[in-house]
Amino acid sequence: MADEGLTRIGAMLEELGARFELVVEAVSGFGGKVDKLKEEIFGQFAEVGSQIRFLSDQIGENRNGLNALHADFGAEMVRLNEIIGKTRVDFREQVASSEANLRGAISSRQEAPGAEAIANSHPAPNGELGRDVAESLKKLSAEIKQTNKAVATLSRKFERFDDRMTVQVKDQDQRLKKVEGAGRRR
C-alpha cells in the first residue's frame, strides 16, 4: 500500500511536471509576445516623439516668422509716424511763416507813408498766403494719401500673415490631437 501511495504520488508529480512544462511553454510564448508588444510601444513612442519634435520645430519657425513680421510692422509704423510728424512740423512752420509774412506786410503797410504806393508795388500778401496754404495743403494731402496707402498695404499684409498663421496653428493642433489620439488608442 505504501508502494501504491508512492506510485500515485510519483504519477501526480509527473503530471504536475508535464503541466509545469506546458505552463513554462505558454509563459515563454507569452513573454515573446510581451517583448514584441514592448518593442512596438517603444517604437510608437519614438515616432510620437519625432512628430512632436517636428511640430515643435514648425511652431518655432512660425514664431520666428511672426516675430520678424512684428519687427517689420513696428519699423514701418515708426517710419510712418516720422513722416506724419515731419509733415505736421512742416505744415505748422509754413503756416507760421505765412502768418508772419502776412502780419509783417500788414504792419509795414500801416506804418509806411504812402501805404497805397507800397500796396501797388508789392503783390497782395493775401494771395501769397493763399498760395502758401494751398501748397501746404496739397503737400500734406499727398503725404497723408501716401501714408494711408502704406498703412492699408501693411494692414493687408498683416491680415494675410495672421490668416496663414492661424491656419498653420490649427493644422498643427489637429496633428497633435491625431498623434495624442493614436497614442491613446494603442
Q: Taking the CA of residue 31 as centre, how many other CA atoms within 13 Å lie in the half-sphere pointing to its CB?
A: 6
> Amino acid letter at 151?
V
Element (H, E) at 118: helix 115-121
**Domain range for 83:** 2-185
pTM (2 decimals)?
0.38
What does the pLDDT look like over 111-138, one tens digit per residue?
765 544 454 444 545 566 677 777 877 8
pLDDT band at 81 (very low <50, low <70, confident <90, very high): confident
Number of domains in the chain: 1
| Range 123-127, long-range pairs (CB < 8 A, 24+ positions) | 125/101, 126/102
Q: What does the alpha-carbon distance between residue 37 and residue 181 come to, in Å, rounded to a whole number?
A: 19
